[in-house]
């Protein structure tokens, strides 16, 4: 994913509203960072509430890429093998008996 662009560092609410493309870009950067939305917003000086609002508004309109591709891992089942391990202090217990 692309590094954070300067547009993600806007802090003033007096500027023009964020465009949908900017919101999508910021949310994609947040997803790629591996951080929670809260941590990402605090780290980059963004309104955390705004990030959650964008995510809710854009749900289903733009796919946000997953930070890690998901895949199945093959599992091989093996027969259980009993291993006899000596108990700690077994010699002392045997001698006491």
The reported pLDDT for the residue numbered 40 is 92
Eight-state DSSP code of residue 62: S
Q: What is the per-residue pLDDT for 7?
A: 44
Could you tell me the pTM of the whole model? 0.49
Cα distance between residue 36 and residue 2, in whole Å: 18
* Radius of gyration over every alpha carbon of the chain, rounded to an integer in angstroms: 27
Q: How do the pLDDT tens digits run along the chain, 97 residues long?
A: 445 554 445 545 566 788 888 888 999 999 888 899 999 999 988 888 889 888 888 887 655 566 677 788 888 888 877 777 766 776 776 776 6
Nearest-10 Cα torsion for 12, 16, 20, 25: -50
Q: Does residue 67 contact residue 35 with C-beta atoms inside 8 Å? A: no
pLDDT of residue 63: 59
Task: Give the residue extent of every domain in the chain.
Answer: 1-68
């Amino acid at each position: 994913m692309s590094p954070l662009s300067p547009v993600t560092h806007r802090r003033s609410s007096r500027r023009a509203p964020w465009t949908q493309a900017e919101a999508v870009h910021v949310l994609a950067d947040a997803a790629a960072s591996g951080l929670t939305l809260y941590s990402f917003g605090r780290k980059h000086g963004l309104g955390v509430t705004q990030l959650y609002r964008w995510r809710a508004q854009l749900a289903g309109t733009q796919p946000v890429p997953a930070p890690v591709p998901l895949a199945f891992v093959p599992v091989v089942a093996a027969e259980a093998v009993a291993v006899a391990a000596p108990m700690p202090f077994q010699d002392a217990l045997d001698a006491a008996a």
